């Protein structure tokens, strides 16, 4: 059982405040291009995070996990259950359980209210500025340009604050995180293993110690405590999932400084594990595709899919390749075959609808998107596609409505309201559309008023 510790942070931050601030911070990171939007990577880190957070006993019903576009070894939690993992940390992990251990640790920081306590201790600033500074400092070790821009925009003449988790916070997060690991079928030894590796390798970093070690200091006694806790759980040996290895392959390509260097590295590598060999071939196909060697990439991806029918990453990548070559019918067939095996899969449905829209098959695309949105009402990308579809179909009112929902979900209520106001100016406007627009406009204005009232209260 994973209880929430009592604390005084609620005197400063309500759960609604935390969620609002976390969304604002996430939106700021997205605008700065700090978040990897790759759908394969995004779905994987969400799946790992949710498998862990579902084991937590908490009154919080919102967690969101994302990958930061940075090669540094870091991870952090923000108010409202928003948890970021740097791409460099995923690549530095040697097992899925090591990655899960870090995510579990950050989930524990949220459920134990360590973030809110840190904000409370910084009460010399108003709440929005404090939150912005925390976001800047958390990212500082990964992307100095992003961090410096955020600090410059939010700090002004305010005094810089230092964000460090206390030793008690870290111990508590280790304990709770370990329980989450064990409850989610990951190997609890992943925590001590990753900490030990970081400590061992830190001697080679000089002044460039990983930011994770700066904000989460690792000591010999802490590693020993993690090892002792892990021994209290049954030994669990598990292979790395193919999804974990495929995501590492994609990130390795994204972070590669040179395709030639990466190609040379792949030539020299000879993985022995079956899953690792498969991921190695996948990365070779990605490099070939990136280099414009379409025929070779198609051949390798087709072979991978034939040997591993239903592997979503291969269906998606091959479909993208075919679409880029104008083979929209072939891409649609690939996505449909995948959807027969995974009905309602969001990734394949969105890709299928993109192909249909490009082919002008708007009715089919609309039906698929509407079904997807009934099951996933917070799918912002589906709304963006629906807006494009309706615009191309000449249904401007419906396009504005869909675009408004996209902006709302992305944390831009002013832009959402602007879209609805543009829809109102259309003439003639069917009565049912006018009623829908007016009702949604009222809801968004009320939401914005509550949002602004909350900011004023916190600033006061």
CATH level 3 topology of 395-460: Methane Monooxygenase Hydroxylase; Chain G, domain 1 (1.20.58)
CA–CA dist 303, 307 (Å, integer): 6
CA distances from 306 to 7, 309, 310 (A): 55, 6, 9
In the chain, list all ranges with CATH 1.20.58: 395-460
List the one residue out of 314, 296, 295 whose CA is nearest residue 304.
314
In the chain, list all ranges with CATH 1.25.40.10: 309-378
Residue 391: burial class (beta carbons within 10 Å; 0-12, 13-18, 19+): middle
Beta-sheet pairing, 64-68 with 82-86: parallel
Catalytic center residues: 106, 174
The better pLDDT of the pair 166, 433 is held by 433
Is the pLDDT reported for residue 436 higher than 70? yes
List the one residue out of 85, 1, 92, 88 whose CA is nearest residue 47.
85
CB atoms within 10 A of CB 51: 17
Confidence band of 137 (pLDDT split at 50, 70, 90): very low
**Picking from 136-140, 332-336, 430-434, 438-442, which range would have the lowest pLDDT averaged per residue?**
136-140
Is the pLDDT reported for residue 7 higher than 60? no
Q: Please state the pTM of the whole predicted model.
A: 0.84
CB 99 within 8 A of CB 93: yes
CA–CA dist 181, 417 (Å, integer): 43
pLDDT of 264 reads 96
CB 122 within 8 A of CB 104: no
Residue 452 phi/psi, 5° resolution? -70, -35
CB 348 within 8 A of CB 338: yes
CATH level 3 topology of 309-378: 1.25.40
**Picking from 12-16, 166-170, 268-272, 347-351, which range would have the lowest pLDDT averaged per residue?**
12-16
Is the pLDDT reported for residue 459 higher than 60? no
């Amino acid at each position: 059982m994973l209880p929430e510790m009592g604390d005084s942070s609620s005197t400063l931050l309500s759960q609604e405040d935390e969620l609002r601030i976390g969304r604002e911070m996430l939106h700021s990171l997205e605008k700065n291009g700090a978040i990897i939007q790759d759908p394969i990577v995004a779905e994987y880190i969400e799946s790992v995070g949710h498998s862990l957070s579902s084991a937590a006993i908490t009154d919080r019903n919102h967690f969101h996990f994302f990958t930061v576009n940075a090669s540094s070894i870091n991870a952090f939690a923000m108010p409202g259950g928003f948890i970021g993992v740097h791409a460099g940390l995923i690549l530095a992990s040697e097992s899925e359980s090591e990655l899960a251990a870090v995510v579990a640790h950050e989930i524990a920081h949220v459920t134990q209210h360590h973030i809110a306590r840190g904000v409370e201790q910084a009460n010399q600033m108003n709440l929005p500025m404090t939150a912005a500074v925390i976001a800047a400092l958390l990212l500082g070790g990964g992307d100095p340009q992003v961090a410096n821009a955020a600090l410059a925009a939010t700090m002004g003449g305010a005094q810089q604050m230092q964000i460090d988790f206390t030793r008690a916070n870290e111990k508590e997060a280790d304990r709770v995180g370990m329980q989450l690991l064990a409850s989610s079928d990951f190997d609890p030894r992943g925590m001590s293993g990753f900490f030990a590796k970081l400590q061992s390798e830190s001697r080679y970093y000089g002044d460039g110690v990983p930011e994770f070690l700066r904000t989460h200091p690792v000591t010999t006694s802490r590693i020993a405590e993690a090892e002792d806790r892990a021994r209290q759980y049954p030994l669990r040996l598990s292979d790395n999932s193919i999804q974990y290895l495929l995501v590492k392959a994609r990130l390795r390509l994204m972070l590669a400084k040179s395709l030639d260097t990466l190609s040379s590295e792949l030539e020299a590598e000879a993985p022995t594990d079956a899953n690792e060999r498969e991921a190695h071939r996948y990365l070779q196909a990605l490099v070939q595709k990136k280099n414009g060697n379409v025929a070779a990439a198609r051949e390798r991806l087709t072979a991978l899919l034939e040997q591993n029918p239903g592997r979503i990453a291969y269906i998606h990548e091959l479909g993208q390749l075919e679409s880029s070559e104008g083979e929209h019918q072939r891409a649609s067939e690939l996505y449909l075959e995948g959807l027969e095996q995974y009905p309602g899969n969001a990734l394949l449905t969105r890709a299928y609808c993109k192909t249909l829209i490009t082919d002008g098959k708007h009715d089919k695309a609309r039906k698929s998107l509407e079904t997807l949105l009934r099951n996933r009402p917070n799918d912002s990308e589906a709304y963006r596609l629906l807006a494009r579809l309706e615009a191309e179909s000449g249904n401007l009112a419906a396009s504005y409505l869909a675009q408004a929902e996209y902006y709302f979900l992305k944390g831009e209520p002013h832009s959402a309201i602007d879209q609805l106001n543009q829809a109102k100016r259309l003439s003639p406007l069917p009565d049912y559309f006018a009623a829908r627009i007016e009702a949604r406009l009222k809801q968004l204005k009320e939401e914005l008023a509550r949002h602004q009232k909350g900011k004023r209260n916190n600033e006061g």
